[in-house]
């Protein structure tokens, strides 16, 4: 089933950053990060419209809730993926988006949200040691 654009607004920022998707009915949040925030939010918008998203968000979409997206931090320097994820985790902890929002749990060096798992592989701290998996890293 397809829903009419539950994500009502997307910031026009195409740089690196941390963003939040906020439910306008209950203020629950999903915190994410991206190398291109606008492109990532466009993907979220499409996935939310087609109910291919986090199950908690999906349930609220089915209730008729609407969402807005905001940029929490514009990151000016080019960070390694794990450094960006560290910033994302700090915001998630600040806004308690795991317990009271839509983010999934943090496990070791992995951040789980929706069907996305971002995991550090090996001992380094650069993008080559990071992988993004859909439906689990195995």
Is 36 within 8 Å of 84 (Cβ atoms)?
no
Which residue ranges form the domains of the chain, and what is each CATH number? Answer: 7-134 (3.40.1440.10)
pLDDT at residue 5, as a whole number: 77
Beta carbons within 10 angstroms of residue 124's beta carbon = 12
Beta carbons within 10 angstroms of residue 9's beta carbon = 14
pLDDT in tens, 57-67: 999 999 999 99
pTM: 0.76
The more confidently predicted of residues 77 and 133 is 77
Please give the C-alpha separations between residue 19 and each of 89, 96, 123, in angstroms, as whole numbers.
12, 14, 27
């Amino acid at each position: 089933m397809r829903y009419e654009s539950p994500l009502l607004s997307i910031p026009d920022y195409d740089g690196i950053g941390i963003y939040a998707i906020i439910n306008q009915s209950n203020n629950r949040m999903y915190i994410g990060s991206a190398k291109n925030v606008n492109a990532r939010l466009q993907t979220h918008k499409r996935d939310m419209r087609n109910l291919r998203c986090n199950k908690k968000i999906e349930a609220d979409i089915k209730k008729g809730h609407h969402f807005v997206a905001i940029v929490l931090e514009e990151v000016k320097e080019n960070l390694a993926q794990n450094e960006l994820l560290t910033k994302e985790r700090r915001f998630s902890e600040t806004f308690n988006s795991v317990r009271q929002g839509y983010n999934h749990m943090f496990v070791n060096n992995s951040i789980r949200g929706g069907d996305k798992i971002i995991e550090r592989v090996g001992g380094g701290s650069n993008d080559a040691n990071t992988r993004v998996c859909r439906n689990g890293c195995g």
